[in-house]
Amino acid sequence: MITLSEITEKLKDVLSEVKPNGKVFDKDVASALGIPQMSFATMKKRNSIPYAELLQFCALHRLSINWLFFDQSAQMLVKETDKFFQVRYFTDLRASAGGGAEVFDENYELMTIDERIVRNMTGSSDRKLEAIHVDGESMEPTLYDGSIVFIDREQTDINKDGIFIASTNAGLFIKRVRQRADGMVELISDNKTYSPELLAPDEVRIVGKVVGSAGSL
C-alpha cells in the first residue's frame, strides 16, 4: 500500500503546476489539505493517511483517487469498469445537529474510487453511493467533524440499527433514528452531551443510511 510520504510527493507535483516558482514543500501540501503543519508532520511519521482530506483534494482538483493511490489513469479505469465506483460527492452539503442544506441538489463532483478502497471503508458492494460532510460534534466519537460519510439512499428502514441522514424542516441531520411506540421519531446523537430530538413522523424524511466514512476515525 502506498505511504503518506509517497502521496505527499504526488501532491507536490500537482501543486507545483499552479505555484509561480514551482517549489512546493510539505507545509504547502498540509495547507492544501487543510491540516495544521505539525499535525501533518506527525501523520507522515505514523503513516496515518487522511482519507477525507485526500478525497476532497482529488474532487477539487479533478484528479482520480486511483491515480493517487494506485497509479491508475482514468483511461485504465474505463477499460476495467467492474473495478471502480463513481460516487456523487456533494462537496458543499453537510449534515449536522444544527441542520444543513435541505435537499440534495445537482451541485456535486463525481468521485472515482477503486473498489478496494470503498470496500475497505464501507464494507458495501452497492454502487449507488453518495458522499457528504459531517458538520459538528454530535456524533462523536463515531463520526467526527469534517469526516466524509458514504450514504446508501436505498436503505431507509429505521427499524434496522445504524446511522441515518434525516431531512427535517431544520435541515439535514446525521443521527441514529428510533420510532417510539407513540409514533414520534427520536433523532439520537452518539455524543451524550446532546439530547435526543423528538419530531412527529410527518416532520422527518429518511434520506438514506450511512454505510461508511472516511476521516478522523
Domain ranges of the chain: 79-214
pLDDT digits (tens, 9 = 90+) for 2-56: 899 999 999 998 898 877 677 899 999 999 999 999 999 999 998 998 888 898 8
Rg over alpha carbons for the chain, rounded to the nearest Å, is: 19
Among candidate residues 216, 215, 139, 129, the one with its CA nearest the CA of residue 173:
139
38: enclosing H helix or E strand: helix 37-46
Q: Which residue has the higher pLDDT, 122 or 6?
A: 6
Cell digits for 1?
500500500
166 CB-side CA count, 13 A: 30
Query: Is residue 103 scored above 70 in pLDDT?
Result: no
Q: What is the pLDDT of residue 39?
A: 94
Query: Residue 116 pLDDT > 90, yes or no?
Result: no
Instruction: Indicate the range of 24-28, 53-57, 109-113, 129-133 predicted with least confidence.
Output: 109-113
Mark 76-99 as b/e (b = at least 16 C-beta within 10 Å).
ebeeeeeebbebbbbbebbbbbeb
Averaged pLDDT for residues 160-187: 91
One DSSP character per residue, 122-191 reads H----S-EEEEEEESSTTTTTS-TT-EEEEETT---TTSSSEEEEEETTEEEEEEEEE-TTS-EEEE-SS
| Residues 135-166 pLDDT 10s | 888 898 888 888 888 888 888 999 888 999 99
Residue 180 corresponds to which amino acid? R
Q: What's the CATH number for 79-214?
A: 2.10.109.10
Please classify residue 160 by burial: count the beta carbons closer than 10 Å to its beta carbon, then call 0-12 exposed, 13-18 middle and 19+ buried.
exposed
Average pLDDT estimate for 75-98 = 60
Total Cβ atoms within 10 A of residue 70: 16
Instruction: Write out the three cell numbers for 49.
Output: 493517511
Per-residue pLDDT band for 217 (boundaries 50, 70, 90) equals very low
- Taking phi first (over 0 means left), then psi (-120 to 50 degrees means alpha), and beta for anything else, what does residue 60 get? alpha
